[in-house]
Amino acid sequence: MEKTAKIIAVAGKGGVGKTSISASIVRNLVKAHKEARILAIDADPAIGLSTALGIEPETTLDDIRKAIVENVEEGNTKDAIELLGEARFRIFDTIVEKDGFAFIAIGRPESKGCYCKINSYLKEVISILSEEFDYVVIDGEAGIEQINRRVMEKVSHLLLITDPSKKGTQVIKTIKKVADELVMYDEIGVIVNRMGDLTLKEYINTSGIDVLSYIEEDKELASFDIQGKSVFNLPDKSKVVIGAREALEKYNIL
């Protein structure tokens, strides 16, 4: 029986710590599953996951898309068709290999025009690429639509990140509503990040979505963010590392 990859998509409103948690998930997977094939996908245009993982990508998937689009706009149809044929191989070239995991960045969103066939092709290639891995972690932009449109239509685990604010919890409620309509997922859960006071947990309304972990404010992580350091340099007792591990354990991934 063919093994199906566990695909963990991380979503939430901007500024709640999605990227640090995504990177911590990758770190926990690498340490727990040393023989596993792990892929980290940065689906955020800001490409913050690369910094959190200590990576400097030279090429993104959008660079490939733009090369194809430019050929179409310039009337070089033959060249565009050849680029499409090469796209799968070029996508493999954009993967950055690190100790224990691989990394790929989606890049900037589309700026103009509609090239649905090209984007659908690239999404299909990414789905094929994901089949080469045991675990795929997607650090998404704020919202779920981008994950559905540009990467893949099915994830095994949808992980919503919020802070304790009412606005943050309202956003995850909206994301779940969108996901229920657009994305096939097997399990869903919430991480409440940047908790200043754990005694206030009872006041946080996640609209019935199970909370997998509460993560307190992490001054050490904040310092790492300012310095641009990788989460792999954080100690095992780091709050964000422990919180990500608790979520993965409840998902039965660790």
Domain count across the chain: 1
Q: From the CB of residue 104, how many other CB atoms can be counted at a distance below 10 Å?
A: 24
pLDDT of residue 144: 67
pLDDT of residue 3: 64
Is 88 among the domain residues?
Answer: yes
* Structural domain harbouring 184: 6-250
Q: Is 185 helix (H, G, I), strand (E, B) or coil?
A: strand
Q: From the CB of residue 205, how many other CB atoms can be counted at a distance below 10 Å?
A: 11
Please give the structure tokens belonging to residue 85: 């044929």
pLDDT of residue 2: 54
Is 32 among the domain residues?
Answer: yes
pTM as predicted:
0.89
What are the tens digits of pLDDT across the range 185-240? 999 999 999 999 888 899 999 999 999 999 999 988 988 888 889 999 999 999 99
Is 17 among the domain residues?
Answer: yes
Contacts of 168 (CB under 8 A, 6+ apart): 12, 13, 16, 162
Residue written as token pair 């200590």: 54
Is 76 among the domain residues?
Answer: yes
Is 168 among the domain residues?
Answer: yes
Please give the structure tokens belonging to residue 58: 């030279």
CATH of the domain at 27: 3.40.50.300
Is 1 among the domain residues?
Answer: no
pLDDT of residue 4: 82
Burial class (CB in 10 A: 0-12, 13-18, 19+), 74: exposed
Distance CA 28, CA 250 (A): 13
Q: Is 2 helix (H, G, I), strand (E, B) or coil?
A: coil
Distance CA 114, CA 221 (A): 40
Look at the alpha carbons of 90, 96, 102, 103 in this order and tell me if their dihedral is positive or negative. Answer: negative
Q: What is the mean pLDDT of each run of 10 residues along the chain (254 residues)?
A: 80 93 98 96 85 90 76 68 67 89 81 54 71 91 62 82 95 90 90 92 94 94 89 95 98 94
Is 175 among the domain residues?
Answer: yes
Is 207 among the domain residues?
Answer: yes
Distance CA 249, CA 237 (A): 16
